[in-house]
Amino acid sequence: MKFLEETKQKIYVIGAGGSGTNTVDRLFELGTEGVQLVGMNTDAKHLLRVRSNKKLIIGKKLTGGRGAGSNPQIGEEAAKESATEIKDALAGASLVFITCGMGGGTGTGSAPVIAEQAKANGALTVAVVTLPFASEGKVRMENALAGLEKLKKHTDTLIVIKNDRLLSLVPDLPLNTAFKVCDEVLASSVKGIAELVTKSGLVNVDFADLRTILMEAGFGVIGLGEASIDAKHEDRARVAVETALNSPLLDADVSSSTRALINVVGGDDMTLKEAEYVVSETAKRINPNAHIIWGARIEENIKKSSMRVLVVLAGVKFPKYEFVPKTPELEGLELDLIG
């Protein structure tokens, strides 16, 4: 047992800025086994409300704990000021997830610096980030895209979720509720990947498997699917995997994917045949020579007859992102949101 504890991989989730720390707070609420949750922000007041295992106010001298004012340059300088503290906070980590909403000040500016420090510590570094809503304005999107260019230089895998695509799942929501949906999807994505390693299952995935798929994989996309049908098992598996593979979150040409990571979670009535069906259907959609690693786990708390599927497709061609206003009058509109 002592040997197992000593060889256990340390997994950290870093929430940077307002959106990132909101995701960490949600992960804390969900309960994420075997993962250290760390909130990093320039806004001391916002960080105070966040639930996490560790908290770090970055750029104290520069910002005085009052935030980055939606300026990515301030966020970057704040992280550089606190680079040693960031590196120390990540000491011993085998896998580091960085999550934030791109486009604001702290998350956009600090995420590349945090990723750089994680890589310097030798950690497998994965960023799961969102792009802003069109309604947040052109400047915020331009800031986000500039931040992505910096971030992808320091991450093994960069997973991007477009908020506007996400919103197509739940249209007509008030803005405040829409942001909470984004936090929920970020949290579910990170939790799903981490628990492939931290929880044992019918088909286990170890850290070496995770590294094989995510190390130097470039751009990635993620799909989430859930089915709860009182019908044949084949129908349940089919609905779950089709929901994941047809998700608006898969905003790329998935046929170009060279690596796939699949997590299948079901109740005690889930069969191995169902899990294998999910894997075979995924294989049909991606590069025929893609490297696929998958895990399947029974979860006692899941609703009876339910099944959840998480698909991470990496090695995908990086799409060309740009600002597209939903209506002409929205172009140039800037919203002062937490960054």
Q: What is the pLDDT of residues 308-332, one digit of tens each?
A: 999 999 999 877 766 665 544 434 4
Q: What is the pLDDT of residues 201-259, one digit of tens each?
A: 889 999 999 999 999 999 999 999 998 766 555 589 999 999 999 988 888 889 999 99
> At the top level of CATH, which class does the domain 219-316 belong to?
alpha beta
Can you give the pLDDT at residue 230? 61
Residue 171's pLDDT band, with cuts at 50, 70 and 90, is confident
| Distance in angstroms between the alpha carbons of the first and the last residue of the chain | 43
pLDDT of 338 higher than 60 = no
> Which residues does 169 contact at the CB level (< 8 Å), separation at least 6?
181, 247, 248
In terms of Cβ atoms closer than 10 Å to its own Cβ (0-12, 13-18, 19+), residue 201 is middle
Q: What is the pLDDT of residues 20-63, one digit of tens each?
A: 999 999 999 999 889 999 999 999 999 999 999 999 999 999 99
Instruction: Considering the chain, tell me which residue range(s) the CATH 3.30.1330.20 domain(s) occupy.
Output: 219-316
For 269, other C-beta atoms within 10 Å of its C-beta total 13
Can you give the pLDDT at residue 4? 38
Contact 254, 320 (CB under 8 A): no
Local structure of residue 135 (DSSP, 8 states): G
Instruction: Considering the chain, tell me which residue range(s) the CATH 3.40.50.1440 domain(s) occupy.
Output: 9-197
For 75, other C-beta atoms within 10 Å of its C-beta total 35
The pLDDT mean for the chain works out to 88
Backbone phi and psi for residue 9, each to the nearest 5 degrees, phi listed first: -75, 135
Query: How far is Cα 291 from Cα 19, in angstroms, rounded to an integer?
Result: 32
Per DSSP, the three-state class of 249 is coil
Distances (CA, A) of 249 to 243, 266, 302, 327, 328: 11, 22, 23, 22, 25
Distances (CA, A) of 176 to 155, 189, 237, 310: 30, 20, 33, 26
Distances (CA, A) of 109 to 59, 66, 186, 301: 12, 15, 19, 39
Query: How far is Cα 103 from Cα 294, in angstroms, rounded to an integer?
Result: 33
**Mean per-residue pLDDT for 289-301?**
92
In CATH, what number does 9-197 get? 3.40.50.1440
Q: What percent of the chain has pLDDT over 70?
A: 89
Query: How far is Cα 319 from Cα 251, in angstroms, rounded to an integer?
Result: 8
Q: What is the pLDDT of residues 56-93, one digit of tens each?
A: 999 999 999 999 999 999 999 999 999 999 999 999 99
- The amino acid at residue 165 is R
Query: How far is Cα 178 from Cα 166, in angstroms, rounded to an integer?
Result: 9
Can you give the pLDDT at residue 72? 98
